[in-house]
Amino acid sequence: MTHDRHSYAEPLLVRTTHLELDLELDFTAKVLTGTATHTLDWSGSNDRLVLDTRDLTVLAVEGEVVDGESADGWEPLEYSLAVPDKELGSALTIRTSRQSRVRVSYRTAPGATGLQWLEPSMTAGGVMPFMFSQSQAIHARSWVPLQDTPGVRFSYAAHVTAPPELMVLMSADNGTTSRRTGSYDVVMPEPIPSYLLAIAAGDLVFEPIGERAGIWAEPAMVGRAAQEFADTEEMMRVTEAMFGPYRWGRYDILVLPPSFPYGGMENPRMTFATPTVVIGDKSLVSLVAHELAHSWSGNLVTQDSWDDIWLNEGFTAYVENRIVEAVYGTEFAVMETAIKQHATVVKLDPLTPAELAVELPGLNHRSEYHGITALGPLKGSWFLTWLEERFSRDVFDPFIRGYFDRFAFRSINSDDFVSHLQEHLLDVHPGVVTAAELAAWLEEPGIPTFAERAASARFQVVDAARTEWLTSAELPAGAANWTTQEWLRFLDAAPDMLSPNQLQQLDRAFGLTGTANGEIARRWYQIVAASSYEPAYAELAAFLTEVGRMKLVLPVYRALAGSDRAFASEVFAKARPGYHPITTAAVQKILGQ
């Protein structure tokens, strides 16, 4: 196991194998209160258990009685809570008699970084409150004291009490009955890492979309989401055909309120998803393909520290693209890949060699994880696509399937993957790739010069139309019928700033201001902000206030910070109550607050 510098835990000495949670949700105080009971596997002769925490109030620590008598079978243990680190939180060190079970009673803080408590006005229904967690990357420690590292996997069971009008769900076996009792019991029998621990509570109902898949959402959203994500079961079938069985039982999707800071979170059995992809035309459902792909890459085979994030996200991006191709066709998949590659290349262009080595090192060189995962994962998926092209799918698909089978329910590092690659692909098929080519991906920074970029015929038409418009002001022919991906290409490769006349011309012709498509809106408002185009400011502000997904709002704030910081701060002040703590911190950093 790689030492995980993002955790205080010592899993080489002792590790949690099973976690039992008994939690009470208090929406008035905005806290969770309860107990976390760890079943432990000890190594060596140590008697110290170190858990990760962040802003938790520890009420008591007990160990299961080994010898002697106790009224309830538990005895108090000595413990200390270290001075908190800004990033890592506080180490909870417990002195034990090497008990097989240790129980921590605790309470979360109202501002726990891994939880968001929403007032009824911030939900679709507007009547009931809502709460959800976001544990990735190291936020599980803000609502459970645990070994918060992906190198430790554990099964878990939970008993949760909540107001009886609310439905509680977790990343576990929740069933499909939305019967509300105020008392809920769930079980996750497969071992998972801590960042996949998840909980949500709100006015939630269920609608099936297949034998193994369904939608949980607020009543106003569930029908629309079920239509948008109707292809989920087909996605599961094609992935199983390529890469092996789905091993998690059900695959349900919980559509959260707009404040959710990510597009999706791959919590096993219960993907948490943003409502910003539910737009009625399935043009953004690659997000579901991505989160489903995590059921193989990330959830099944997991990086053992955050410095090897490419193992999770690079493999997932590759599998996602294969799913999209199988369900929606080659051209759609090529366009999706080209969009991602373009964004990465643009980010790399201004970097010095030293910066490049930090931002996008070789895949086998671990670098500090800052929560921004766009570059390394893209390089990882690009590498896998390159291998597939060299070896052919007839050879490469069985190799990937064997990788998932070999490391199922394990946490590994880059060295483990490279050894597997060498033994099961390179040695079996010698001479297909050279040592220099392999080193360019694994050891050297950046994207290798010999890596071919995805080329879309439809994007060539879009690029020509953009060039013609910028030169002659002649509007792109047929643009009114462009797909989402074609509009993303048009805006992605447009100048960062446009003139008021150019912006007005596009807006009048195609109605970009106020679009319900979050991906188009992000790109449009980013140009609007950089160009100080005030006629669109009201809708831009509404967009930033209504949506909390970081991928969509942070680029717009960055553009505003460079053109109109005062307006950016004004919008943020209004939007902040609806943002997740993770989003709030990211915007504050951009605005220098």
290 annotated ligand-binding residue: yes
Using alpha carbons, list the distances in angstroms from residue 347 to 342, 343, 486, 508, 583. Answer: 9, 6, 20, 31, 21
Cis peptide before 408 (omega within 30 of 0): no
* Pair of tokens at residue 80: 């200390």
Q: Would you say 429 is a known binding-site residue?
A: no
CA dihedral 568, 570, 571, 577 (to 10 degrees): 130
d(CA 111, CA 575): 17
Token pair, residue 443, equals 């050891």
Beta bridge partners of 168: 201
Alpha carbon distance 307, 303 (integer Å): 8
Q: Locate the DSSP E strands across 57-181.
A: 57-64, 74-76, 79-81, 90-95, 101-107, 115-118, 130-133, 153-161, 167-170
Would the annotation count 263 as a binding residue? Answer: yes
Neighbour order of strands in the sheet with 31-42: 74-76, 57-64, 101-107, 31-42, 14-26, 153-161, 183-193
266 is in an annotated binding site: yes
Give the Å distances, CA to CA, from 206 to 178, 183, 292.
Answer: 6, 18, 19
d(CA 171, CA 266) in angstroms, rounded, equals 9
Tokens of 243: 């890469």
159 is in an annotated binding site: no
Which 8-state DSSP code applies to residue 112? Answer: -
Please tell me the distance from the alpha carbon of residue 133 to that of residue 115, in angstroms, as a whole number.
Answer: 4
Q: Which helix (H) or strand (E) holds 73?
A: none
Distance CA 574, CA 276 (A): 20
* 246 marked among binding-site residues: no
Q: Using CA atoms of 461, 464, 465, 466 in order, give the dihedral in degrees to the nearest 10.
A: 120
Measured CA to CA, the distance from residue 150 to residue 16 in angstroms comes to 12
Residue 254 sits at φ, ψ, to 5 deg, of: -100, 115
32 and 56 in contact (C-beta within 8 Å)? Answer: no
261 is an annotated ligand-binding site residue: yes
Cα–Cα distances in angstroms (integers) from residue 144 to residues 21, 129, 137, 202, 294, in the given order: 9, 22, 14, 20, 23
What is the C-alpha to C-alpha distance for residues 92 and 82, in angstroms, rounded to an integer?
7
| Residue 589 labeled ligand binder | no
Residue 152 and residue 194: Cα distance in Å, rounded? Answer: 7
Q: Which amino acid is at 559?
A: A
DSSP summary character for residue 257: P
Which residues are within 8 A (CB) of 484 and not within 5 positions of it... i.e. 6 or more apart?
281, 283, 284, 517, 519, 520
135 is in an annotated binding site: yes
Q: Which of 286, 249, 256 lies closest to 271, judged by CA? A: 256
Strand 79-81 with 31-42, pairing = unpaired
Residues belonging to the binding site for Zn(2+) are 290, 294, 313
Residues belonging to the binding site are 134-136, 261-266, 290, 294, 313, 549-551
Residues belonging to the binding site for a peptide are 134-136, 261-266, 549-551
